[in-house]
Amino acid sequence: MPPVEHSPARILGWREWLALPDLGIPAIKAKIDTGAKTSALHTFRIEPFRKRGVDCVRFWIHPLRRRTDIEIACDAPVVDRRLVKDSGGHAEHRYVILTQVRAGETQWPAEITLTGRDDMLFRMLLGRTALIAGGLKVDPGTSFLLGRGLAHSYRRKRRITGVK
């Protein structure tokens, strides 16, 4: 049987630069983690609110480690609130949002939980549910198959707002 061919654009390394265009996040370095069911986004402040009868959440992120001068404020409707266990077995109730994720030329909707990841190396974790939804595969022996171009999105100190 001949080997299955995969489009290179559909294969990610174990870490990649992604974008979350609906949230106004031009670049965020993510760990691609097939061991995690859900995806997670680092937030340092979360404020729930209602807009036209819909539960929403406003949250702030520092998209780059060690760069608290870069701050992005985002708004999104709440899809759910779930009890999520981290890799250490600690359970936490998290807000869940649905937003577009862009990896290279591929873009798709993914559910993402909001949590504090200050002590983690990556500001985002892309879990297997999002990988399946995007039709993506992972080559765990490689990194940054999509390039590092998005890393240059934050040249100057600035505050960005993704609030709509």
Percentage of residues in the chain having pLDDT higher than 70: 89
pTM to 2 decimals?
Answer: 0.86
User: For residue range 138-159, what is the model confidence (pLDDT) as tens digits?
Assistant: 999 999 998 888 888 887 545 5
71-106 pLDDT, tens digit per residue, is 999 999 999 999 988 777 888 899 999 999 999 989
CATH code assigned to 21-146: 2.40.70.10
DSSP string, 5-69: P--GGGEE-SEEEEEEGGGTEEEEEEEEETT-SSEEEE-SEEEEEEETTEEEEEEEE--STT-TT
